[in-house]
């Protein structure tokens, strides 16, 4: 849960790097909250709660995705490939599951705090 809150606190931080754990824990909790809110919407017969939640986490989702791409040494502009329906999702999934750069890269130091140069 702390990873989810950490992403929400850094909702406009598009620079730096995000570990796989930070990214995937955010995705997990986002999915759980989305399902709970969708069920709540279904029970109440509304649809605005899901819309409000989706809009609230849109910017943090993009920000953590960009930081995740930075961790793998890629530009944040790669997030635009998601505009291609199936291919974009597959490419971003492959990038998201890859191990981040072990050393510092153009986007900052290793978020795990262990640079190979220091080890």
Burial of 43 (0-12, 13-18, 19+ CB in 10 A): exposed
Kindly state whether residue 105 falls inside one of the protein's structural domains.
no
- Tokens in use for 93? 């999934």
Kindly state whether residue 80 falls inside one of the protein's structural domains.
yes
Kindly state whether residue 106 falls inside one of the protein's structural domains.
no
Burial of 55 (0-12, 13-18, 19+ CB in 10 A): exposed
The per-residue pLDDT for range 27-80, each reduced to its tens digit, is 999 999 999 999 999 999 998 999 999 999 999 999 999 999 999 999 999 999
Counted domains in the chain = 1
Kindly state whether residue 110 falls inside one of the protein's structural domains.
no
At 84, the pLDDT band (50, 70, 90 cuts) reads: very high
Asked if residue 118 has pLDDT above 90, the reply is: no
Residue 90's domain comprises 2-97
pLDDT at position 20, please? Answer: 93
Kindly state whether residue 63 falls inside one of the protein's structural domains.
yes
pLDDT at position 117, please? Answer: 47
Asked if residue 115 has pLDDT above 90, the reply is: no
Which residues contact residue 38 at a Cβ distance below 8 angstroms, ignoring those fewer than 6 apart? 50
Kindly state whether residue 66 falls inside one of the protein's structural domains.
yes
Kindly state whether residue 52 falls inside one of the protein's structural domains.
yes
Q: What percent of the chain has pLDDT over 90?
A: 72
- pLDDT top residue among 116 and 12: 12
Asked if residue 1 has pLDDT above 80, the reply is: yes
Which residues contact residue 106 at a Cβ distance below 8 angstroms, ignoring those fewer than 6 apart? 73
Kindly state whether residue 16 falls inside one of the protein's structural domains.
yes
Asked if residue 119 has pLDDT above 50, the reply is: no
């Amino acid at each position: 849960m702390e990873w989810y809150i950490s992403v929400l606190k850094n909702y406009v931080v598009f620079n730096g790097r995000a570990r796989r754990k930070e990214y995937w824990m955010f995705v997990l909790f986002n999915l759980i909250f989305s399902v709970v809110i969708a069920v709540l919407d279904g029970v109440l017969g509304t649809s605005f709660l899901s819309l409000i939640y989706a809009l609230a986490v849109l910017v943090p989702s993009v920000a953590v995705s960009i930081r995740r791409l930075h961790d793998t040494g890629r530009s944040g502009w790669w997030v635009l490939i998601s505009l291609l329906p199936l291919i974009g999702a597959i490419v971003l999934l492959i990038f998201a599951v890859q191990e981040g750069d072990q050393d510092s890269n153009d986007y900052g130091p290793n978020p795990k705090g262990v640079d190979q140069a220091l080890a």
